[in-house]
Structure 1
Amino acid sequence: MSQVHALSDDQVGQELRKMTAFIKQEALEKAREIEIKANEEFSIEKSKLVRQETDSIDAAHAKRLKQAAMSQQITRSTVANKTRLKVLAARQQLLDDIFTAASKRLDEGTKDTAKYRGHAIKDAESEYKSNTDKETKVTVDEDNALPEGSSGGLFIVGGQGKIEINNTFDQRLLLLQTSGLPAVRETLFGKNPNRKFYD
């Protein structure tokens, strides 16, 4: 049989102090655990927020860089196109000036009697006969002269009016301007590296 001993007040006080100290120690350890866990969770959350903000800033920066590069590319392309158009316009103006100057000089050809004979009919008839073994009769239609302002040359009508050949200087220059333009361009500006088709 066990005996229950009554504790004295001092003993009870001592036991209470031990229990209080034990509970206090447990509470301090628990508080320390909670603080450590809270600090870990705070660090994890803080790292997560910092990473999210860093990613957001990086994305915004990348977007601005891409927009700036695109804007720069558009500006560069616009400037290149404007420059190309100016070069093309200057080239076209030069070609127009060349053909305008040539047109003005056509009149000079008819004034030089050594180079331009207004009635070379006999030579033409002889050359025709030697090339075809056929006779021909060439006449000048004084009633239907070339139009006013024409630079000279011939407008030939044959075959009872069925064949018409415009061999005026103005028409020859127009044909040269159309057919010879690629050769003139190449002579003046060199070969076009972008040209893929040649007629």
Structure 2
Amino acid sequence: DLSDIAALSRRAWSLFPSRVVGDRSIDLELPIPGRSGSRRIGKMNDADVSKQIQQMVRFIRQEAEEKANEISISAEEEFNIEKLQLVEAEMKKIRQEYERKEKQVEIRKKIEYSMQLNASRIKVLQAQDDLVNSMKEDAAKELLNVSHHHHILNVTHHDHEYKHLLKELIVQSLLRLKEPAVLLRCRKDDAHLVESALESAKEDYAAKANVHPPDIIIDHKVYLPPAPSHHHAHGPSCSGGVVLASIDGKIVCENTLDARLDVAFRKKLPEV
């Protein structure tokens, strides 16, 4: 810095008793301690002038070196501080980026785990549904055998069992409806069994409900669909049972074997 060098020069010149102008020396008056007034210093030769100049140069150089050293140390400290700040800032960015990517990886893992878990649940539910449907098909075949025995095999024992089953289904339906008069529908093949079991069903219902026996009208115009067969595999079918309704048709109790099977298996379906 030129201002610092100029200040050092002025300080250096102030240390010497004379100044050199051109090739001449100028005498300076210095105060004499303990005396009043001053004394004059004699003229300086070239050797003394050169010596003083060398001393002044060394002084200026020393001061300049110290100043330069201070500037260098200060600059290095500022550099280290700024470098540390930059390093910390970059490290913070790296940590934030790492945390962001780590969160993304965790979220991706959770999504993949959830998808795999859902896929496993769907497989389990599908297996349960297939098993339930298979069991339902087997049960439907067994129900079909129950209602077919009385007219296919023509066995009196099975005929009596199915007739008793029809009577119990009628009584149960009457207890559900609690109507004084009802309309009954059955399969055409079961009409004679229903007619033979009707009076017994009325008496059982009247005894259980403590009411007068109801009027039961068998619908001979509209029958329930016939039992399933190979000829009507895709059409409506009924494995047996009865359907009772109020006279106005507003209340219906479907008590067929197929309906009861659906209710039983609906409770066993897997929950989603």
Q: TM-score range by the shorter chain?
A: 0.7 to 0.9
Q: Given the superposition, is the C-alpha separation of residues 6 and 65 from structure 1 closer, same or farther in structure 2, using an over 3 Å criterion?
A: same
What secondary structure sits across from 2:255 in the alignment?
strand
Contact 1:125–1:138 (CA<8 Å) still a contact in 2?
no
Matched AA of 2:105: A
Matched AA of 1:167: N
Q: Runs of 5+ in structure 1 lacking a partner?
A: 195-199
Q: Given the superposition, is the C-alpha separation of residues 2 and 108 from structure 1 closer, same or farther in structure 2, using an over 3 Å criterion?
A: same
Aligned partner of 1:128 in structure 2 is 202
What CA distance in whole angstroms lies between the structure 1 residues aligned with 2:59 and 2:116?
84
Q: Given the superposition, is the C-alpha separation of residues 136 and 122 from structure 1 closer, same or farther in structure 2, using an over 3 Å criterion?
A: farther
- Please point out which of 223, 242, 247 is paired with 1:154: 242
1:56-135 counterparts in 2 under 5 A? 56-113=93-150, 114=158, 115-117=161-163, 119=193, 121-129=195-203, 131-132=205-206
Structure 1 window deviating more from structure 2 (146-155 vs 12-21): it is 146-155
Structure with a larger share of its residues in strand: 2
Q: Given the superposition, is the C-alpha separation of residues 91 and 14 from structure 1 closer, same or farther in structure 2, using an over 3 Å criterion?
A: same
Q: CA deviation at 1:9?
A: 0.9
Structure with the greater relative contact order (CA < 8 A, sep ≥ 6): 1 or 2?
2
Deviations 1:98-133 (A, max 9, x none): 222222222100233423235264454134235527
What CA distance in whole angstroms lies between the structure 2 residues aligned with 1:101 and 1:45?
83
What secondary structure sits across from 2:242 in the alignment?
strand
Q: Given the superposition, is the C-alpha separation of residues 128 and 23 from structure 1 closer, same or farther in structure 2, using an over 3 Å criterion?
A: same
What secondary structure sits across from 2:40 in the alignment?
coil
Contact 2:243–2:253 (CA<8 Å) still a contact in 1?
yes
What CA distance in whole angstroms lies between the structure 2 residues aligned with 1:51 and 1:164?
81
Q: Runs of 5+ in structure 2 lacking a partner?
A: 1-37, 151-157, 164-189, 228-237
Q: Given the superposition, is the C-alpha separation of residues 76 and 12 from structure 1 closer, same or farther in structure 2, using an over 3 Å criterion?
A: same
TM-score (norm 2): 0.56
What secondary structure sits across from 2:224 in the alignment?
coil
Equivalent residue pairs, number: 184
Structure 1 window deviating more from structure 2 (159-168 vs 57-66): it is 159-168
RMSD in angstroms over aligned alpha carbons? 3.2
What CA distance in whole angstroms lies between the structure 1 residues aligned with 2:143 and 2:98?
67
- Please point out which of 68, 75, 83 is paired with 1:46: 83
State the structure with more CA Rg.
Answer: 2
